[in-house]
Amino acid sequence: MAVIFIQNTSLRESLLSYKNLDLEKADSLINLAYFEADQLTKNDVLFIKEIFLKYREKPEDLKFLADKFLTIFDERHSPDKNLKPSKRELEKYLDALILINSPQANRDNCLEMLSQVEDSFLISHLLFQMVKKFGKSKKQECEDLLKNFIKKYPQTPLSELAEGYLRILNY
């Protein structure tokens, strides 16, 4: 599995704080992680921050998300099998994120997993991860995915982000 943020200690500490429901500390550390991140990972840190804000009202979801993100981004972390989300949507999203970040990922498997997620915010994060992973090898297909996303969610902040990724892909 790809370890994306291994060098960003603040992000790891933030995720541990979210898992322990120490939200004030977690919020401070994730802001610090953003400033420490390189340009390529700043958007990822922002997406993670927004996901935690979105699911903040449900402690079991915060713990589940933090544990899964730690599993994805830190090879030293062992997942807690006792944690379960309140919504199946989160499991589908995280399963897709794990697949996208694995060395065995291929476009078709990732698209199949992506199609099972319904939340537009979570879809956008997965889509942007796919573009980062497959943008060089499957450029036209990634362009088409971004254009379809922009059509489906026109004039939204997410479609503006997708347009940015489209410009970067064509640069």
Element housing 114 (H / E)? helix 107-114
The yes-or-no verdict on residue 95 having pLDDT over 80 is yes
The domains of the chain are located at 1-78, 110-171
Q: Which residue type sits at 3?
A: V
CA torsion through residues 19, 79, 51, 26, sign? positive
- Averaged pLDDT for residues 142-163: 91
The yes-or-no verdict on residue 50 having pLDDT over 70 is yes
- Averaged pLDDT for residues 68-73: 84
The pair of structure tokens assigned to 98 is 């794990």
Structure pTM? Answer: 0.82
Q: For residue 155, count CB atoms less than 10 angstroms from its CB and return exposed for 0-12, middle for 13-18, buried for 19 or more.
A: exposed
Alpha carbon distances (Å) from 2 to 5, 72, 78, 118, 164: 9, 7, 15, 25, 24
The pair of structure tokens assigned to 132 is 């980062």
The yes-or-no verdict on residue 93 having pLDDT over 50 is yes
pLDDT in the model for residue 30: 95
DSSP, res 118: -
Element housing 76 (H / E)? none
- Averaged pLDDT for residues 44-60: 91
pLDDT digits (tens, 9 = 90+) for 5-37: 446 789 999 999 999 999 999 999 999 999 998
